[in-house]
Amino acid sequence: MSSTDEKAPGYDEKTPVLIVGGSLVGLSTSLFLSRHGISSLLVERHAGISPHPRAFNFNMRTMELFRSVGAEEAVRQKAPPGFQNSGILQAVSLVGKELSWVTQDTTSSELSSVAGCIIGQDALEPVLRARAEELGSDLRFSTELVSFEQDNEGVSAIIRDRTNGEERTVRARYLVAADGNRSAIRQQLAIRTYGPGSLGHQLSILFQADIQGPLRGRKLAVCFVHNPNVRKGSSLVFARNGQGLALFTPYFPDKGEREEDFTGEYGIELVRGAIGIPDLPVEIVNVRPWEVAAWAAGKFQQGNVFLVGDAAHVTPPAGAFGANTGIADAYNLAWKLALVLKGIASPNLLLTYTEERQPVVRYTAEQSFAMFKRFSSAPTDANSTQILPYNSIAFGYRYHSTALPRETADDTWYEDPHHPTGRPGTHAAHILLERNGEQFSTLDLFGRRFVLLTGNEAWREAAYNVAKAAGLPLEVYCIGDQGDFTDPSGRFFATYGIKPDGAVLVRPDGFIGWRAQEANQQPEQELGNAFSLLLGYALAKENEVIYS
């Protein structure tokens, strides 16, 4: 699959989707599109990846998404085994008194068949890059977007090869901006951002030191330190794949501080203060500033341009939501773009990208902001309440949009994923099914097509007829003793909130799209109406109860 096999008159090349930014979210977008059979051209300004630790905690939902594109195993192979299920510590110093401890439980067999993964961004990006190339993505590093403009039919762009300065014109149907928090694309579109904004600056001090003794065999991802020899709000970060460790320390460029103030003796003093050993041999490798912020763009789409990842929203690092949320954006967008580009869905479906993702982002940012405040201050008896469960945040959000039915007037955005209801807009729950003595998670059925799950053969025939007429990619599975899968736990129908003669339709992103709680006299018509809504042809009016 190549993005350049067709030339547009007057342009050097043509592609269905131009992706700008080849970090985690841009690479994920390219991967997800490829999985749906859509070629794209990705340009990334840098030749390689940053050695500084940034994202390292990838939740179960993100790993489900990587599994759906065949990247899970390769990611796990590169993940350092010692850091899985590691802890977040608050302590006076690494060797000092422990104040609080949270273990990051990266697994929950109740919620998913797929465990989360601790892996540094520096190790993850090459894995995603390799898998994307394997699936035929056109990835161009050392290449930048110079300019773009859009019209009703698409986007015209100029890209530049930074190794030789050569510029090329590109015509794309859609542009995906994965160009990070300072997104020049977002700025050109004059899309405003909302939220608390900047919460301060931090400096990542990358250093080498022997900390095996101070670690005392503890499995730690992060240690927040609270003592007078370090700045308030400092943390040691361990979960990396490359060489060295990092101290994140507050940094005040507005008061005249400079990065070079931290590369010598002062930086070493701070590291020793955090570890708690005044004469520990320490070598500073380099330093890199970053801004702690919480904001979201007012909209994630303008015409043919979509913002994903940090270009659309930024959360403080607490809770490790940044990249996870950005990757989920890409997953939500990719199937919609694919079906619109294939002429199966209405372009109106694309409007639901902002509708569905923006509230999730807002809530996630609130959680992260609260955690950031908690971790920035030493725990006391008054504020030692338990940290919110990461997994519930990753799985519990619920989409509402004009392409989703509303069964009741209830518009709750969240449901406890430990008690799934099967309502449209929720994550389709993990249940172990069996075929020929082998177990499968329901999750393994989702990711590429719409999937109809039922206990009633009448729905199968109706679904195939509707799918054939619409040219829809659809799979149907009957659950039951005579069906395609048996349900050894007997939980399937109750968990998805249907009777055995009902049916549930799961979207290609693994979210419930529609369900009929029981048999229907006119299954074909019911399904036809459902698809019409899910594909953006019959947008639901706000507050309208479509199915009851």
Ligand X SMILES: Cc1cc2nc3c(=O)[nH]c(=O)nc-3n(C[C@H](O)[C@H](O)[C@H](O)COP(=O)(O)OP(=O)(O)OC[C@H]3O[C@@H](n4cnc5c(N)ncnc54)[C@H](O)[C@@H]3O)c2cc1C
- Assign 279 to helix, strand or coil: coil
Q: Minimal distance in Å, beta carbon 119 to ligand X?
A: 10
Q: Which one, 46 or 342, has the nearer CB to ligand X?
A: 46
In degrees rounded to 5, what are phi and psi of residue 275? Answer: -80, -30
The number of beta carbons lying within 10 Å of the beta carbon of residue 47 is 10
Q: Which of residues 506-545 bind ligand X (CB under 6 A)?
A: none
Q: Does 361 bind ligand X (CB under 6 A)?
A: no
Q: Does 145 bind ligand X (CB under 6 A)?
A: yes
Q: Minimal distance in Å, beta carbon 532 to ligand X?
A: 34
Residue type, 198: S
At which residue do the structure tokens 């460790």 appear? 245
Q: Does 141 bind ligand X (CB under 6 A)?
A: no
- 124 Cα distance to chain centroid: 13
d(Cα 59, Cα 395) in Å, to the nearest integer? 10
Tokens of residue 409, six digits: 């007037």
Q: Which of residues 6-35 bind ligand X (CB under 6 A)?
A: 20-26
d(Cα 17, Cα 40) in Å, to the nearest integer? 5
Among 63, 115, 178, 429, binds ligand X (CB under 6 A): 178
Q: Which one, 131 or 406, has the nearer CB to ligand X?
A: 131
Provide the H-helix boundaries in 302-444.
322-341, 352-376, 390-396
Q: Minimal distance in Å, beta carbon 19 to ligand X?
A: 9
Residues in contact with ligand X, total (CB under 6 A)?
32
Give me the count of residues in the chain: 548
d(Cα 127, Cα 134) in Å, to the nearest integer? 11
CB 462 within 8 A of CB 386: no
DSSP line for 374-397: HHHS---GGG-PPPPPHHHHHHHB
Q: Minimal distance in Å, beta carbon 52 to ligand X?
A: 8
Q: Minimal distance in Å, beta carbon 53 to ligand X?
A: 7
Q: Which one, 185 or 498, has the nearer CB to ligand X?
A: 185
- Assign 296 to helix, strand or coil: strand
Q: Does 420 bind ligand X (CB under 6 A)?
A: no
| DSSP 8-state class, residue 465 | H
Among 179, 356, 487, 526, binds ligand X (CB under 6 A): 179
Q: Minimal distance in Å, beta carbon 364 to ligand X?
A: 10
- With contacts defined by CB under 6 A, name the span among 177-185, 334-342, 430-438, 439-447 that binds ligand X: 177-185
Q: Does 57 bind ligand X (CB under 6 A)?
A: yes
Own/partner contacts of 101-104, CB < 8 Å, gap of 24 or more, are 102/386, 102/387, 104/57, 104/221, 104/390
Q: Does 88 bind ligand X (CB under 6 A)?
A: no
Q: Minimal distance in Å, beta carbon 438 to ligand X?
A: 33
Residue type, 170: V
Q: Which one, 317 or 447, has the nearer CB to ligand X?
A: 317
Q: Does 203 bind ligand X (CB under 6 A)?
A: no
Among 35, 36, 54, 61, binds ligand X (CB under 6 A): 54
Q: Which of residues 309-338 bind ligand X (CB under 6 A)?
A: 309-310, 317, 320-324, 326
- Assign 84 to helix, strand or coil: coil
Q: Which one, 139 or 504, has the nearer CB to ligand X?
A: 139
Binding site for ligand X (CB under 6 A): 20-26, 43-46, 54-57, 121, 144-145, 178-180, 184, 290, 309-310, 317, 320-324, 326
